[in-house]
Structure 1
Amino acid sequence: MNLKSLLARPFANYIYNKIAKGMETAVADQQHILKSLIKSAINTDFGKDHGFSNIHNYEDFKKQVPIRDYELLKPYIEKIKEGRHNVLWKGKPIYFAKTSGTTSGVKYIPITKESIPNHINSARDALLCYLAQTGNYAFTQGKMIFLSGSPELDRIAGIPTGRLSGIVNHHVPKYLRGNQLPSYQTNCIEEWEAKLDKIVEETYHQNMTLISGIPPWMQMYFDRLMEKSGKKVGELFPNFNLMVQGGVNFEPYKAKIFESIGRKIDSIELFPASEGFFAFQDSQTEPGLLLNTNSGIFFEFIPATEIFNENPTRLSLEEVKIGENYALIINNNAGLWGYNLGDTIKFVSTSPYRIIVSGRIKHFISAFGEHVIGEEVEAALLKTANEENIKIVEFTVAPMVQQNNEKSYHEWFIEFENLPANIDAFKQKVDNNLRAKNVYYDDLITGNILQELKITQIRKNGFIDYMKSIGKLGGQNKLPRLSNDRTIANALAPYITQV
């Protein structure tokens, strides 16, 4: 064991014990954070506009602060971009995290000196929990990679501005800099495929022990490595023993990624976003991600079925129930207030508070009243794929509204690693599994309102080429699992396999 590993052991145990104690005080911590946030922002423009001086508890807060998305918060953001201080939070942000919005175009998410530890320490804590629980310190002795956006930052009103992963890159501890790959110069390459080729070149002969990133782009990296070497990734990197992933549900990619590695290795799942680092996998044996209840964020939860209501039910942590689908609302020490993140989660445990990410509010199909969500289509497809020993590369689902009295249906666009022996039988199983997950969809099929789903095959690398065509290949970009219209479906026409 080298010096770095020896130094990591006591720190890992210290952090792990601290997190374990925090599991028992989560509700009290949340109450304290809300009071602290209000007190700190009482003299900001937002605090004055929303009567923070009259807020004494959560009930007061709900009356004074409405739920907002980025568009409704944007007027305050624009003030900050003009150089104003004390707008959403005291002083001004130390960064803007620049991210692409579905309807808002480019979004500028403030990060303050108070909120930056949430982004930096949460990933660290996830690794330290892993170290403390498993005693596996081997990965600290080799090279580590995070497939991220460019660390080069622009400035808006003097505020450094860039992708969150690029911002975080500037905060990698010095003691890990010698282990970090790729080089700064390579990370600055904007064009994803050119960057990927350079990453392969820089890492090919290295002792890689930890690889992290968004699963579809890790898979692209693995594919390039295997093309170059003719070996499985685990053979090329014999000491590669830990993978860290986040950004999308890992399950649809899991089988193919582990096949590319050639052996089972440990993995840690994270739930980060430009707006905050919300949860991380703290255990290799328990399901779900531990909610970050003492990291400058006060969470609220709205039943997902009510998110578009004028006055939805707003719940604090102590009011949530296991298995319910909630829209995640955040209030944080960067000045996001009643902020509708757009993600939905479910609690798998309330002692401690562990969650799974179930989908996106805007990523659903309810063209016929079925309100199918991402978690349901992923579960239906994966159950079938596992039973049939089929590996899925990527997929998305859209409604097909038929004319002339023909029955409508859900169209599944799937890129297969290996084709089912009987595609019709495979389709039937997926449809049955989705019906078992969603009673409304089942009713529509039973009532002959909808016909069973149809599968449209996407050619090899078709989704990669589609993402490239819209300028969203690589980095933190993700393909929506579900759409409630045909925009993506129509754009996929050039990538369909002709059978």
Structure 2
Amino acid sequence: MNARWAYIQLQSMIVKRMLANTKRSQVIQQDVLRRKINLCADSRFGRDHGLSKVRNLVDFRRQVPISDFNYVRPYVDDLQRGDTQALFAPKTRLLMFAMSSGTTDKPKYIPVTDEFVRDYKRGWKIWGLKAHKDHIDLATKDYVHLAGDWQHDQTSSGAWCGSISGLAAETRPPIVRRPFIVPHQVGKIGEWTSRQYVTLRLSLPSRRVGMIITANPLTLISLAQLADQSKEVLLRDMRDGTITMPGGGENSLAPELKCRIRPVAKKRIGELEQIVERTGQLLPRDFWPELSVVGVWMGGSVGAFVPEVRKLYGDCAFRDHGLSASEGRMTIPMQDESNAGLLDFTSNFYEFIPIAEYGSENPTLLEAHELEEGESYYILLTNSGGLFRYDIHDVVQCVGFEGQTPLLTFLHKGVHFSNMTGEKLTEYQVATAVREAFTDSEQIMETVLIVPVMGSVPRYTLLVELDAEGKAARLAEAIDAKLSILNCEYDDRLKSRRLLPLVPRVVPSGSWKKLRERKLAERGGTQEQYKHTFLTSTEDVFNNLGISI
């Protein structure tokens, strides 16, 4: 403990410095912008956009348009073929490409440079240090981090493609790596259920897990469900010092993992058996009784699943993972039980467009210090991976300030919005209505999808996998009632019969798994990155699921 605690105390100066610098974040943002420009000025992209001539923000906005990934894709394609100077200065080192599906029809390959990784790690370090400051007991406990594989694929030039979380995990300093009891090699297991089983097999021997970290709450739900479903096999494997991979595959386990598969202490086996005997289940809330912190996304559509995670993981603090994507980390939550995060003003340069002006020819463009509390914005990102004024399609709300620096909550992806009759329905509203409807009915949260259907009188269809039509009908009525409270325009359209009430439609069991696999196959990305949306703006989902409208 002494060495780890001493390290935490020493590094905590980083947090203090960042909080102090919130008072001058406007100046720091200008310095960040200059660094990003210098990183790419002597490249083909830089010459095409006159980056060497940029002296201030006015120049920058004149020279570089607001863009999406398709705009920069030709440069990235050349980068994948080995032409580093397509996007970066000659001495820039490209480490990998972070793969992401996002909202495009083709996978995105986000360039990851040395500076990108430094930015990424600094944000996580601040997140972790602040969590340790608020939960001192973590200094003596174990951690479980569910990271991905940064070597999932390779480009034609040999560059690795995958998840940056895997690279960060693999390159942790030894003193930081020691408490993480699930080694980074687990992230390289391709089959999702097998990866989760190995995670359980290696972490269940410890009753002193104090923190578990992953982005998506659905990952935590499936991990807990697998633990319970596989409890007899897990207990046998721990007694015998073996591992029984779902569907076989034990022989393909990496040597670094095989050497960790050992019999577990009889005392711990006894504890786990008593849990099963007492409760009939094997769930994290019981087998990790000292869990202090769950680090996971709490906002947006997936935030609707957080109540179910709480039931499975017990009475512990939840700290938002932060607004982050393959393109970079954008916020750093600084306290428990809030999905608000401090803008990571030292890592990227940001611009914001008021939500009402998004898509207009000349929208108002704001710097971070110019935001207004209570207002919502689209965020533009300039990072260390060659993305400039990049529209990540995220809608955020400013909920306060620390000095000059805004505190932001993630609301929803901007593309998940529907407006057939002027109701302006957002995914955030739908996710909130769905969560409240399930909570009020004391049902376990289920995955659902609301789809607009045009007709002589438009309507929305609620797609559910519930096994009883009556239950689906009651759920549709409850969601409609919640939406009418959350959205006065929706309520007005229902009352004026310009919209029909929400119509339930039970889809076959396994439909969401089918949809997830289809999207991942089409767009790339990983299971962890996949976020099931609660609202779509088109009827395409019916064709994707093979059902009629």
* Counterpart residue type for residue 63 of structure 2: Q
Correspondence list, 1:394-433, <5 A: 394-402=447-455, 405=456, 407-414=457-464, 424=473, 426-433=475-482
Shift of 1:413: 2.5
1:279 matched to which residue of 2?
331
Please give the secondary structure, in 2, of the residue aligned with 1:161.
Answer: strand
Correspondence list, 1:383-462, <5 A: 383-402=436-455, 405=456, 407-414=457-464, 424=473, 426-457=475-506, 462=511
Matched, 1:216 2:218: yes
In 1, are the aligned partners of 2:189 and 2:195 still within 8 Å (CA)?
Answer: yes
Distance, in Å, in 1 between the alignment partners of 2:449 and 2:370 is 34
Matched, 1:310 2:309: no
2:116 matched to which residue of 1?
115
More helix by share: 2
In 2, are the aligned partners of 1:226 and 1:232 still within 8 Å (CA)?
Answer: yes
Shift of 1:430: 2.2
Distance, in Å, in 2 between the alignment partners of 1:4 and 1:226 is 36
Please give the secondary structure, in 2, of the residue aligned with 1:157.
Answer: coil
Change beyond 3 A, Cα 1:101–1:251? closer
Shift of 1:470: 5.2
Correspondence list, 1:481-492, <5 A: 481-492=534-545
Shift of 1:7: 1.8
In 1, are the aligned partners of 2:150 and 2:161 still within 8 Å (CA)?
Answer: no
Please give the secondary structure, in 1, of the residue aligned with 2:294.
Answer: strand
Shift of 1:329: 0.6
Give the counterpart of 1:301 among 340, 352, 355: 352
2:244 matched to which residue of 1?
none
Please give the per-residue CA displacement for 1:123-172, whole angstroms capped at 9, x wherever unaligned. Answer: 2211101112343325x532423153464552443433222233333222
* Counterpart residue type for residue 219 of structure 2: W
Please give the secondary structure, in 1, of the residue aligned with 2:129.
Answer: helix
Please give the per-residue CA displacement for 1:407-464, whole angstroms capped at 9, x wherever unaligned. Answer: 2211223456x99997655533422332333343233223321112223345766534
In 1, are the aligned partners of 2:97 and 2:162 still within 8 Å (CA)?
Answer: yes
Distance, in Å, in 1 between the alignment partners of 2:337 and 2:290 is 22
TM-score of the pair, normalised by structure 1: 0.88
Please give the per-residue CA displacement for 1:193-249, whole angstroms capped at 9, x wherever unaligned. Answer: 222233233333234332222111111001111223322312112222221113963
2:257 matched to which residue of 1?
none
Pick which of 194-203 and 105-114 moved more.
194-203
Change beyond 3 A, Cα 1:286–1:142? closer
* Counterpart residue type for residue 354 of structure 1: L
Please give the per-residue CA displacement for 1:288-315, whole angstroms capped at 9, x wherever unaligned. Answer: 11110111x1101112343333333322
Change beyond 3 A, Cα 1:247–1:328? farther
* Counterpart residue type for residue 180 of structure 2: Q
Shift of 1:271: 1.9
Correspondence list, 1:341-360, <5 A: 341-351=392-402, 352-360=405-413
Distance, in Å, in 2 between the alignment partners of 1:46 and 1:151 is 27
Distance, in Å, in 1 between the alignment partners of 2:470 and 2:316 is 27
Change beyond 3 A, Cα 1:98–1:269? closer
Distance, in Å, in 2 between the alignment partners of 1:457 and 1:136 is 46
In the alignment, structure 1 segments of 5+ residues that lack a partner are 495-499
Change beyond 3 A, Cα 1:35–1:186? closer
In 2, are the aligned partners of 1:346 and 1:356 still within 8 Å (CA)?
Answer: yes
Shift of 1:345: 0.9
Distance, in Å, in 2 between the alignment partners of 1:205 and 1:3 is 24
In 2, are the aligned partners of 1:98 and 1:106 still within 8 Å (CA)?
Answer: yes
TM-score of the pair, normalised by structure 2: 0.81
Distance, in Å, in 2 between the alignment partners of 1:8 and 1:459 is 53
* Counterpart residue type for residue 529 of structure 2: Q
In 1, are the aligned partners of 2:350 and 2:367 still within 8 Å (CA)?
Answer: yes
Change beyond 3 A, Cα 1:460–1:136? farther
2:259 matched to which residue of 1?
none
Change beyond 3 A, Cα 1:54–1:147? closer
* Counterpart residue type for residue 375 of structure 2: E
Change beyond 3 A, Cα 1:409–1:350? same
Distance, in Å, in 2 between the alignment partners of 1:4 and 1:270 is 28
In 2, are the aligned partners of 1:81 and 1:156 still within 8 Å (CA)?
Answer: yes
Change beyond 3 A, Cα 1:155–1:61? same
Distance, in Å, in 1 between the alignment partners of 2:359 and 2:516 is 29
Identity %: 21
Correspondence list, 1:56-71, <5 A: 56-71=55-70
* Counterpart residue type for residue 81 of structure 2: E
In 1, are the aligned partners of 2:394 and 2:410 still within 8 Å (CA)?
Answer: yes
1:497 matched to which residue of 2?
none
Please give the secondary structure, in 2, of the residue aligned with 1:144.
Answer: strand
Please give the secondary structure, in 2, of the residue aligned with 1:103.
Answer: coil
Change beyond 3 A, Cα 1:263–1:462? farther
In the alignment, structure 2 segments of 5+ residues that lack a partner are 232-280
Aligned pairs, number: 489
1:129 matched to which residue of 2?
130
Distance, in Å, in 1 between the alignment partners of 2:409 and 2:317 is 21
* Counterpart residue type for residue 261 of structure 1: Y
2:344 matched to which residue of 1?
292
Shift of 1:367: 3.6
2:254 matched to which residue of 1?
none
Distance, in Å, in 2 between the alignment partners of 1:132 and 1:47 is 42
* Counterpart residue type for residue 438 of structure 2: A
Change beyond 3 A, Cα 1:411–1:241? same
More strand by share: 1
Matched, 1:227 2:237: no
Pick which of 144-153 and 369-378 moved more.
144-153
Change beyond 3 A, Cα 1:129–1:445? same
Distance, in Å, in 2 between the alignment partners of 1:291 and 1:357 is 11
1:263 matched to which residue of 2?
315
